Structure 1
């Protein structure tokens, strides 16, 4: 497989990952909004529950019975965490971190929206160049053109 085919495969892989993350964004946004709304409701209900003078005079379960808004919102929040909302609100970040782990083995990395770029290869011999020249990654240059900037790791050592 020549370098042109490899570059095309890498670009196709990058497009597929980017497409997948963009498809996750609407669902992730909805889960985040739901978590925010339920958290605010729980905090508001907790505040009303704590400042109520009757709370100190009655038993714990009676006080929860007297404040159904707090009780229901708290149960809903606990149920959402048991259902895995904490994983759903950060799903794109989890996928990006796993991609970085895999790509690191190939001297590549990616950003949060999964644009792939090449990274420096660490050499054991300090101050000694091999016979090859350093080149600029075509993929990194194209990524910088998309963003309007150059990647900090746009130069590779081969």
Structure 2
């Protein structure tokens, strides 16, 4: 009886080992694959480049809010991704207009097929935004990279007893 019990336990342990060994090896291989991604692979996947995004047609064409588009969204390439400099953002360098055929449903009428034009980005680059908003002297000013032209105050004194708008009044004849 002890012999049967011992051999049963031995066979059970061999069987469990055979079943569980491939699972642990495959989990280890997946873990190594995830941990073993090279820096360059990660960088290339996250850099600024055209990526497929879903574009909601009602958001893109708000003037047609009383229509129902089928499909309601389309897949286009738009610039997205990370830039090495935090002050830069991902912007399109080149784009093209592509036409797509969609179904348009107007209330109480048959659906119609129509072509819509959407912008698809083909090339992207990291750069600083064109208009930078900066806070100066407790007011928000927008600069476009050019030097700001400051208003100069007029020199001279206002005459005594003259009104505020005296310089704009016509002389009396």
Which structure carries more strand by proportion?
2
Rg larger in 1 or in 2?
A: 2
* Fold similarity call, TM over 0.5: no
Which has more helix, going by share of residues? Answer: 1
TM-score category by the smaller chain?
under 0.3
TM-score, scaled relative to structure 2:
0.23
Higher relative CO (CA 8 A, sep ≥ 6), structure 1 or 2?
1
The TM-score, its normalising length taken from structure 1, stands at 0.25
